[in-house]
Copies of this chain bind each other. A is one copy, B any other.
Amino acid sequence: MDLNNDPVDHIDEKDLGEHIHALVRRLYPICRSITGDGLRKTLRIINSYAALEIREVPSGSRAYDWQIPREWNVRDAYIRDSLGNRVVDFKKNNLHLMGYSVPVNKKAKREELLGHLHTMPEHPDWIPYRYSYYKDDWGFCLSDNALKALNEPEYDVYIDSTLENGHLSYGEAYFPGTSSDEILFSAHACHPSLCNDNLSGLAIAAYLARTIGSKKHRYSYRFLFLPTTIGPLAWLSRNEDKLSRIKHGLVLACLGDAGISTYQESRIGNADTDRAMVVALRDSGTPFNVRPFTPYGYDQRQYCSPGFNLPVGCIMRSPNGCYPEYHTSADNLDFVQPAPLADSFSKILATINVLENDYKYLNLRPKGEPQLGRRGLFDKAAELGLMWILNYSDGHHSLLDIAEISGHRFTFLKEGADALVETGLIKQIS
């Protein structure tokens, strides 16, 4: 498989960012949470890009130390003033309602109401994102400017939500390869109208799944679209028999903002997954950050818990908590752009390409240099790093090792290795 070419069938590569952004736009208005119909609707849309199994886990089921919560759905929610104006309205922006708010229908004194309102004084026009998944509560989020206008002594508070036994939904796509060894991609699908975190990750995962599904490949691929924390725990607890197959994994999040790429290594650190991602980023020729594992952040927290310790890293652009728009209404359709979405997609695909093509070769003429001239390879020797491949194809070093040692681009080395295999100077051994 050479995934660097023709990444997505029927889509011109230069239009890819626009296509991914279109999917972000389509998903943006939906009110998602860790359960509920918004999450289901999101999965059904993604299913139209890459065939998913949509799984439903009943409320109350165990997932290790956790229990699947009740399912939350909302029809309407608002704060209304004495003139009947909806001064805060869930229908205008689903961020206005704190996630998992319990039903409410009452008059509330201004003072009581203030205890349930969340704003960001440092960004007075932005609405913050808040939730209370595991503690019964209710609340509204609004701009600090809107808060300042709430001067009446009493307001109608109305939340038409349900918190009932139901299901946690997640989507799963599996593409078998020639090997049962797996590469896992995981994207959290529970955030409401927030684009970078994580419609960017969902949309890129959808297009990756569509690409992988249309190709032959060595590895088997698994894509998970699930609510954060409880989603991976539900999946892990039901799939322990498959975990030993996971050789590499990436959590996809915050992939559409203008920042440079940031890779957080797996807990293992320097796993082949980590090294492949770093080589792909290096080969891109653009700046990037690499940072070590921490047990904070996205769902790598579960995959990299000590009971699993899977080789799962996390690829982002600006990391969670490191940009002011994070978890606010400013993480909107302008904040993510086609160009960085396409760039993130291509770097992940380049990483897949490294992993798919990372073989060890054996130099069959290991004593001295072979004579490249009479094989017509002399002119390609420098660019394709042929001398590096020949010298380090000693049974110990893989192409990824050679990419690291030599500084040569992985794709050039692959081309070089193919040429050397063709002449019989090296052979693939694993």
Contacts and interface: CB of A to CB of B under 8 A. Distances in A.
A35 interface: no
B134 A390 contact: no
A307 interface: yes
Nearest to A233: B368
A366 B307 contact: yes
A393 interface: yes
Interface size class, chain A: 35 or more
Of A65, A301, A373, A392, chain B has the most CB atoms within 10 Å of the CB of: A65
B306 A363 contact: yes
A306 B373 contact: no
A237 interface: yes
B368 A302 contact: yes
Given A367-B64, A368-B236, A387 B135 contact: no
Of A306, A307, A387, chain B has the most CB atoms within 10 Å of the CB of: A306
B305 A367 contact: yes
A229 B387 CA distance: 14
Interface in A288-302: 294-296, 301-302
A64 B134 contact: no
A26 interface: no
A295 B390 contact: yes
A294 B267 CA distance: 32
Nearest to A133: B373
Interface in A42-66: 63-66
Nearest to A232: B368
Nearest to A375: B65
A148 B388 CA distance: 40
Interface string A400-430: 0000001000000000000000000000000
A393 to B, nearest CB: 7
Nearest to A363: B306
A374 B233 contact: no
A304 interface: yes
Contacts of A390: 295, 305-306
Question: What is the count of identical protomers in the complex?
Answer: 3
A364 to B, nearest CB: 10
A283 interface: no
A365 interface: yes
Given A65-B368, A365-B65, A306 B391 contact: yes
A308 interface: yes
A301 B388 CA distance: 10
Interface string A235-259: 0110000000000000000000000
Contacts of A229: 369
A116 B363 CA distance: 36
A363 B387 CA distance: 47
A64 B365 contact: yes
A305 B64 contact: no
Interface string A241-284: 00000000000000000000000000100000000000000000
A394 interface: yes
Contacts of A153: none
Contacts of A394: 306, 309
B66 A371 contact: yes
A370 interface: yes
Nearest to A381: B296
B233 A295 contact: no
A65 to B, nearest CB: 4
Interface of A: 63-66, 134-135, 229, 232-233, 236-237, 267, 294-296, 301-302, 304-309, 363, 365-371, 373-374, 387-388, 390-394, 406
5 contacts: A66-B368, A233-B368, A295-B388, A301-B369, A307-B366
Among all A-B residue pairs, the 9 with the closest Cβ atoms: A307-B366, A307-B367, A306-B394, A295-B387, A295-B391, A65-B370, A306-B366, A302-B368, A233-B368
